[in-house]
């Protein structure tokens, strides 16, 4: 797997590079701002671009703008955005065009090496990853009349873990239930959110998008 990483903090960037390389992931480019990131990604065509949201010159949303550009221009490349704080609107913007190959994690997760590396791999494989803190805030703000209100408390827990990018096996371990029980909950979630069998393997991603959009209301 090949990645390009962009962060104006050399210390954090070098730390992330070391973690990735020790995990067998090749870092083919580093950037300190959004424009440099776009140049490096276009040149190297990596599997994943890891992007800090706040970068020079204004340190507002340059990284997110660059990520949106990459999503539109090179949709086959996964994008994992890192943020210092929980900013739901940024997660929603990032996933506006679809959740495949997209991740949003807090920078603190870089210190959790297994979760960080797992997030990079999930995004490279076309999955989606949302930071647990972001998911928690969204869950607390969902609309009282939204489709998620039809879910049972257990189905809500399952969907929350799905939004974090967890597999059925990981969900079963987290909730201390059988994997078959998780499968039943996932099926019920799909039915209640109106996702038909024709949606195929993308139903999981569509469910996560429904979660994000409903929570944004």
CATH of the domain at 11: 3.40.50.2300
So what's the pLDDT on residue 3? 98
Assess if residue 39 is contained within a domain. yes
**Model pLDDT for residues 142-163, shown as the tens digit of each residue:** 566 667 778 899 998 998 888 7
The reply to whether 58 and 120 lie within a common domain is yes
How many CA atoms within 13 Å lie on the side-chain side of 217? 13
Number of structural domains (the chain) is: 2
Residues 125 and 53 in one domain: yes
Residues 102-124: tens digit of each pLDDT: 888 998 888 889 989 999 998 99
| The token pair that represents 63 in the structure block | 């990284």
Residue 171: pLDDT band by 50, 70, 90 thresholds? very high
Which of 67-81, 160-174, 201-215 is predicted least confidently?
201-215
pTM for this one?
A: 0.79
What's the Cα-to-Cα distance from 160 to each of 39, 99, 176, 189, rounded to whole Å? 35, 15, 15, 11
Judge if 112 and 201 occupy the same domain: no
SS3 72: helix
Mean pLDDT of 91-105: 82
In this prediction, residue 217 carries a pLDDT of 54
């Amino acid at each position: 797997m090949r990645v390009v990483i962009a962060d104006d903090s050399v210390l954090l960037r070098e730390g992330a590079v070391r973690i990735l390389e020790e995990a067998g992931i090749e870092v083919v480019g580093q950037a300190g701002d959004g424009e440099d990131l776009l140049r490096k990604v276009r040149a190297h065509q990596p599997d994943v671009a890891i992007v800090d949201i706040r970068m020079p010159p204004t340190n507002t949303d340059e990284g997110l703008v660059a990520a949106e550009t990459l999503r539109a221009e090179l949709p086959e490349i996964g994008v994992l955005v890192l943020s210092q704080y929980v900013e739901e609107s940024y997660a929603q913007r990032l996933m506006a065009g679809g959740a495949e190959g997209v991740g949003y994690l807090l920078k603190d997760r870089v210190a959790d090496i297994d979760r960080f590396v797992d997030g990079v791999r999930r995004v490279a494989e076309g999955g989606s990853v949302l930071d647990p803190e972001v998911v928690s805030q969204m869950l607390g703000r969902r609309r009282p009349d939204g489709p998620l209100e039809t879910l049972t408390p257990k189905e809500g827990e399952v969907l929350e873990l799905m939004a974090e990018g967890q597999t059925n096996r990981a969900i079963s371990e987290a909730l201390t239930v059988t994997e078959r029980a998780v499968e039943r909950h996932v099926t019920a979630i799909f039915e209640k959110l109106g996702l038909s069998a024709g949606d195929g393997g993308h139903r999981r991603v569509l469910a996560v998008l429904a979660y994000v959009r409903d929570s944004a209301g």
